[in-house]
């Protein structure tokens, strides 16, 4: 009986990850290839990092959560500045002004992202749809500068890990 339950759980997780992979694959396919040029605040052109050509963001939230309402515009701005796709997962199936298109935060998504850890939101994760890896970035609301710093550090760690540079 336990084996049947585990098989069912594995199937649900794989279906959830397949949905995320399709979401991000479609978004990535719609983008132009090559390195993008991004305008900085000082109007200098810099070549865009290709990290978000292969990765995306997962944002768990509730529309009634004041911290989620505060953090969502910060995530939206970050995603626009860095050309990152965001999969917005709502615990109450309601959108936020910054994310009008949402997917319900199903048990499968919650299980994959949080595992056995407590569920706190807003919660931001980086996902690699090809490898199906999910990396936790933050829980709680942060300022734009705090998010930028966290993402910079996290992206550097993920790149090292995915390139096999981690001992």
Local structure of 86: helix, strand or coil: strand
Residue 157 sits in a domain whose CATH number is 3.40.30.10
pLDDT on residue 147: 97
Number of domains in the chain: 1
How far is 108 from 101, CA to CA, in rounded Å? 19
Domain membership of residue 130 as a residue range? 2-32+39-162
In a domain, 98, yes or no: yes
Nearest to 89 by CA among 112, 116, 110: 110
> To which H or E segment does residue 22 belong?
helix 2-30
In a domain, 167, yes or no: no
In a domain, 109, yes or no: yes
pLDDT on residue 163: 87
pLDDT on residue 127: 95
In a domain, 80, yes or no: yes
Positive/negative CA dihedral, 29, 145, 137, 122:
negative
Give mean pLDDT in consecutive 10-residue pieces for the chain, a chain of 167 residues. Answer: 42 46 48 38 44 94 96 97 95 95 91 90 94 93 96 94 78
Instruction: Tell me the pTM.
Output: 0.71
Nearest to 58 by CA among 27, 31, 30: 27
pLDDT on residue 164: 84
């Amino acid at each position: 009986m336990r084996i049947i339950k585990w098989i069912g759980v594995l199937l649900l997780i794989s279906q959830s990850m397949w949905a995320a992979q399709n979401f991000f694959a479609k978004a990535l396919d719609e983008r132009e290839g090559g390195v993008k040029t991004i305008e900085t605040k000082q109007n200098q052109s810099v070549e865009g990092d290709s990290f978000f050509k292969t990765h995306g963001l997962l944002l768990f939230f509730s529309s009634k959560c004041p911290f989620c309402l505060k953090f969502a515009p910060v995530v939206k701005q970050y995603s626009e500045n860095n050309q990152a796709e965001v999969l917005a997962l709502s615990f109450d199936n309601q959108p936020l002004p910054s994310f009008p298109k949402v997917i319900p935060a199903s048990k499968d998504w919650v299980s994959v992202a949080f595992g056995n850890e407590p569920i706190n939101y807003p919660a931001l994760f980086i996902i690699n749809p090809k490898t199906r890896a999910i990396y936790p970035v933050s829980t709680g609301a942060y300022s734009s500068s705090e998010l930028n710093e966290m993402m910079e550090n996290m992206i550097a760690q993920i790149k090292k890990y995915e390139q096999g540079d981690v001992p």
